[in-house]
Amino acid sequence: MNDTTESLITDALHHRAERTPPPGAVLAALRRPRRSRRPLLVVLAAAGTTAAAAALVVTTVTGPTAGQAPVARQLGTTSEPTAAPVADVPTRALEYRPGEMLDGYTERERAIAPWGTARVYAPGATDPGSPMVRFAVLTSISGDVSAKVVDAPVADRTTVGGAPAAWFGDNLYWNATPDRVLSVSLENVTGVDVRAQVRRIADSVTADPASMRVPFSLNQYPYVEVRGSGPTDWAVTGTSDVDNVRYDVELVRTAEAPAGSTPTTVGGKPAHYTADRFGLLAVQLAPNLQVRVKPDEFDTRKGPVPPGVETKHAPVEVLAGVAAALVVDVNPDVAWIGTR
């Protein structure tokens, strides 16, 4: 994300945060008795088959096995995996897509965020400094950004498809609908007329009826990035907030335990925990797939965080509670990687 785009989104999020009350204690809500007593689910969607889901709840035992980390306390009441339809995997509508693209560029990355969605097109990897085209659909912050479009200096104003638009540097933003702002930007692209190519791509944008399955979600407001070179080479990373702590969540295609970790179990599934740095929990969801959870940052201004998290490390019980609240699609929606 370039500096101009990041500044617009950050300003809009700060403005929105000022109008938003502090979040409640999500884990406390998870611990409240639930009428159905059904556990939170990790969706196990198998390619080409009916999806099944297994409860990712923390197992209760009388004591840890010698050499193991303490098994986390039980967060729900269950004894067997519970089936769930594939519809239980959250999806996000994409809404729009570019009809034209730079030669040799294919879609390599998608971001799903509380503020909207972004799609990145590139001739290769999307590492920092690499050439790429970024297309974004702003939703929850559209009101703040659309006002900036309307109030842009006269010399920077234009239209896209008859809708009000404005240039911010070489980034083009336009108010496609009253609650949607779209944007196109070129990053690190050389040898072309940047504004002319941005304009060409913006003029080609059309409706996209497709939706994307969200690889993981928590509290319905995750930030997730999916990137790769193709459907068999991908990475999924992101963050979710619980009890004023932001957690990093990662889907890793591996069966190896994190270095220096100690074995434990989560919901009957093999897991490994390490207290290094702020703590890390890795749960093996499938033979070659783990979900890893670790604390990222703390915002004590909004209220207390779980005991011990803000000091040395997150205890295994805390990280297991976050893992239990996640809904994870273990067959991530990645068929689009490398396509136009």
Taking only the tens place, the pLDDT of each residue in 12-40 is 655 554 443 333 222 222 222 332 322 22
Q: What is the mean pLDDT of residues 282-292?
A: 95
Contact 93, 120 (CB under 8 A): no
In DSSP terms, 134 is beta-bridged to 120, 185
Taking CA atoms, 70 is separated from 62, 271, 274, 302, in Å, by 10, 11, 11, 30
Distance, CA of 319 to chain centre: 18
Split at pLDDT 50, 70, 90, the class of 303 is: low
158, pLDDT greater than 80: yes
Contact 263, 251 (CB under 8 A): no
Span of 31-45, 114-128, 251-265, 296-310 with lowest mean pLDDT: 31-45
Which token pair is 98?
């570019």
Split at pLDDT 50, 70, 90, the class of 268 is: confident
Contact 96, 206 (CB under 8 A): yes
The count of other CB atoms within 10 Å of the CB of residue 82 is 12
3-state secondary structure of 189: coil
Split at pLDDT 50, 70, 90, the class of 98 is: very high
Q: What is the mean pLDDT of residues 282-303?
A: 83
DSSP annotation of 48 reads T
Boundaries of CATH 3.40.1000 in the chain?
A: 3-19+91-213
What does the pLDDT read at residue 243? 76
- Of 229, 224, 201, whose CA–CA distance to 96 is shortest? 201
Report the predicted TM-score, pTM, of the whole model to 2 decimal places: 0.76
323, pLDDT greater than 50: yes
C-alpha Rg value of the chain to the nearest Å: 22
CATH 3.10.20 fits 3-19+91-213, yes or no: no
DSSP annotation of 142 reads H
Q: What is the mean pLDDT of residues 193-217?
A: 96
Site of tokens 């319905």: 220
